[in-house]
Structure 1
Amino acid sequence: MLATIKKLNDVPVAVFEREMKHSPKEVWDYLTENDKLKQWFSELEVKSLEKGGHILFDFQDGNYEKMEILDVKMEEVLEFVWPPKNTVRFELNDKDGHCQLIFKQFLYEITEHTAKDLAGWHVCLQVIETLLNGEEVKDRKASWERVYPKYVEVVKPYLTASI
């Protein structure tokens, strides 16, 4: 299921919604425990899980981007800066022991790269669910290549719009 872009206070927001047959705690662990986080987004590392804390993005070349955590509520909300100007937010809701995951990317800046980010998040959310299901992660690159052209179309109307 592709993300949709909605406006929230005049800011475009890409919204992904997933229903996972796992508890919010299990999903939370994949978002915040570095050993599990590395399995679906190897460049990220949580350094300080608190509001004002930070997550590191490892460029794999000796350089790092320090991303501030803007909001955190254990097993419910994780929001952080997504460089250069956007933010991402994971919201976890308990639905009879299962997790409703709502992921939002606030698009304060929309560029040609935005579709790549959205396709990447799409695949990352699939990988989290695959790992939680105890299944083998298949060809991530092929999955990304399938959805990327669709996100190019989703983003296209916003490329010329000013925020």
Structure 2
Amino acid sequence: MNTTRTPHGAVTGMDTLTIQRQLPGSIDRVWQYLTESDLRRQWLASGDMDMRVGGTVDFTWRNDDLMKNPGKRPEGASAEHSMECRITELDPPRKLSITWGSTGGVSFTLEPNGNGVLLTVVHHRVADKSILLKVSAGWHMHLDVLTARLNGEEPEPFWDGWQRLVKEYEQRVG
């Protein structure tokens, strides 16, 4: 397993998280991991995506199923969670923006960078600080899983990493 630490996201303003990852492979391959349910379920959530502006995006998270050993799920975290979103911007294979629950939404931007792809995730308008900490740790951990998958590696246990990252983001955000 690659033990190199990946960078933390940055909280801009009081309510927006920006997090980046340098990913191996082509922009088309990474786009598939964002948009195709069978690939997306390996790092984030499964669900159909109607690939048009205004189209529905269904997400179902099963974090216990992301790897062989997901670690111990924290008290209060559910084994499964679903959410319906809508596509607000679509420019394949470079940009996908969607609504996201009660927040302002999430944008994924892909840019060729050297021999790989720079993925930038921006989660807008997460007003509640406790939710922002969990969202920051969640995106960080899910992107670590994506990076491991694209590198053909087994990621660290999801829940162990998420709980560690919540504490790290709590210290970083203050």
**What TM-score do the two structures reach when normalised by structure 2?**
0.77
Query: Bigger shift: 92-101 or 25-34?
Result: 92-101
Instruction: Identify the match of residue 48 of structure 2 among 41, 46, 49.
Output: 46
Q: Please state how far the C-alpha of 1:113 moved relative to its aligned partner.
A: 1.9
Cα RMSD, aligned residues only: 2.2
Q: Contact between 2:44 and 2:61, CA under 8 Å: does it hold in 1? A: no
Q: For residue 93 of structure 2, what is the amino acid of its counterpart? A: E
Q: Contact between 1:53 and 1:68, CA under 8 Å: does it hold in 2? A: yes
% same residue: 24
Residue deviations 1:2-45 (CA, integer Å, cap 9, x gap): 111224xxx74211121122211111111001100111123x41
Flag the structure with more relative contact order, 1 or 2, with Cα contacts below 8 A and sequence separation at least 6: 2
Q: Does 1:6 align with 2:12?
A: yes
1:131-142 → structure 2 map (5 Å cutoff): 131-142=149-160
Q: Please state how far the C-alpha of 1:109 moved relative to its aligned partner.
A: 2.5
Instruction: Identify the match of residue 109 of structure 1 among 127, 135, 154.
Output: 127
Equivalence for 1:160: none
1:69-108 → structure 2 map (5 Å cutoff): 69-108=87-126
Instruction: Identify the match of residue 67 of structure 1 among 78, 85, 89.
Output: 85
Q: Contact between 1:86 and 1:109, CA under 8 Å: does it hold in 2? A: no
Query: Bigger shift: 29-38 or 100-109?
Result: 100-109
Q: Distance in 1 between matches of 2:53 and 2:16?
A: 21
Extract unaligned runs of 5+ from structure 1. 157-163
Segments of 4+ moved more than 6 angstroms:
59-63
Q: Please state how far the C-alpha of 1:153 moved relative to its aligned partner.
A: 3.5
Q: Contact between 2:15 and 2:127, CA under 8 Å: does it hold in 1? A: no
